[in-house]
Amino acid sequence: MTAATKVPFVDLGRQYASLRDEVLQTIDAVLKSGQYILGPELDAFEREAAEFCGVKHAIGVANGSDSLWLSMKCLGIGPGDEVITAPNSFIASAWATAAVGATPTFSDIDDTLNLDPAKLEQAITPRTKAIMPVHLTGRIANMEAIMEIAQRRKLHVIEDAAQAIGATRHGRKAGTFGVVGSFSLHPLKNLAAFGDGGLVSTNDDGIAQQLRLLRNHGLKTRDESVIWGYNSRLDSVQAAVLRIKLRHLAQWNKTNRNLAERYHQALAKHVKVPVSGAGEEQIYHRYVIQTDRRDALHAYLAARGIDSKINYPTPIHLQEVASQLGYRQGSFPVAEKLAGMILSLPLYPEFTLAEQDMVIAGITDFFSGRP
């Protein structure tokens, strides 16, 4: 955001302003309690988050990268194994596989920006242990088709639902299809901590128990450690604040959908808009349009003081860090083509209609050839 920015991409201060008194009182109470790590606020947040997500267990961890990584650990994925994910995600999706010593592999997407189930089986090898669909932008991947393949090929499914908390598909919430679901509670996510945070969802009692050990040095009691674990806990202050925000999340997601609908109506004649398919309820973590004039539009909006972003300009398989994996330009044609066409427009619950109208006017003027 620059001094000339008229429409910022996001303004986190607005949400804080709307909750400030309650947040400050809650933080004050936690600070006075002296219970800063684990404890009652985290227990309550985990219960409430599990209920919201429609699962038996939700386990708070330090961030959404750790929630993927610890889930992999729990499933025993390690050296010699492969995990298939989408090439057009944030780096953390593939990182988690590398972090357990396994090999990240990829399969191409379709124009929903999610894994294309029709291509998935070609990516399965004898070493494949799991599939990690990423519910990019807050839109759930085609989980019926992905689960059918995974069950037939006896593979785990780890949902990277970092961007999709509260999204549904045919009535089922993100994070309830696979053996585990992984969420990020990063400040830019739809349910956002005031810092880092993550969450794992599962219906499997054994996995939940194992995760609780793994995130806390394998400690069964204060003094007894049963496995080599890690320090990856969600702080009590964050948990307490997240409890407040969780009560608003369904409404915030609904507001996002209403704003998305306004964009759809105004923009569909100029660009491809992310309209939901039958049975899909997106949460629009990002509102991503597709146009082959993306770079010019991006620059035009910037010149008008309208902030837009590209999530993500370089697919993971073409990043330097992935150069050892043996992919090249052309490996995933759809992901590569869309990387040059996608543009994320500002959209968040506190975004005003007046601001949205400025974005719409900017895009309309661009396509009408107005300077």
Ligand X SMILES: Cc1ncc(COP(=O)(O)O)c(C=O)c1O
Q: Which residues make up the interface to ligand X (CB under 6 A)? A: 63-65, 89-90, 92-93, 134, 160, 162-163, 184, 186, 196, 198
81 or 196, CB closer to ligand X?
196
CB atoms within 10 A of CB 148: 12
Smallest gap from Cβ 126 to ligand X, in A, equals: 27
Whose tokens are 């806990």? That residue is 233
Whether the CB-CB separation of 295 and 313 falls below 8 Å is answered with: no
> CA-to-CA distance for 359 and 306, rounded, in angstroms?
7
Closest CA to 270 of 356, 178, 341: 341
Task: Tell me which DSSP letter residue 346 carries.
Answer: P
Closest CA to 96 of 80, 113, 82: 82
Whose tokens are 């400025």? That residue is 358
286 or 294, CB closer to ligand X?
286
134 or 306, CB closer to ligand X?
134
Whether the CB-CB separation of 250 and 166 falls below 8 Å is answered with: yes
> CA-to-CA distance for 252 and 232, rounded, in angstroms?
28
233 or 267, CB closer to ligand X?
233
Pairing relation of β-strands 287-290 and 342-345?
antiparallel
311 or 356, CB closer to ligand X?
311
Smallest gap from Cβ 331 to ligand X, in A, equals: 20
Whose tokens are 């309309």? That residue is 364
163 or 356, CB closer to ligand X?
163
CB atoms within 10 A of CB 9: 18
Report residue 218 as tokens. 């394998």
Count helices and strands in the chain by DSSP H and E runs? 11, 12
Smallest gap from Cβ 267 to ligand X, in A, equals: 24
159 or 355, CB closer to ligand X?
159
Smallest gap from Cβ 185 to ligand X, in A, equals: 7
160 or 307, CB closer to ligand X?
160
Smallest gap from Cβ 116 to ligand X, in A, equals: 17
194 or 367, CB closer to ligand X?
194
Smallest gap from Cβ 64 to ligand X, in A, equals: 3
Smallest gap from Cβ 90 to ligand X, in A, equals: 4
Alpha helices in 138-235 (DSSP H): 143-152, 205-214
Closest CA to 290 of 108, 109, 112: 112
Phi first, then psi: what are they for 326, rounded to 5°? 90, 10
Residue nearest ligand X (C-beta atom): 64
Smallest gap from Cβ 345 to ligand X, in A, equals: 17
Smallest gap from Cβ 107 to ligand X, in A, equals: 16
Sequence-separated (6 or more) residues with CB below 8 Å from residue 68: 92, 93, 95, 96, 132, 158, 160, 182
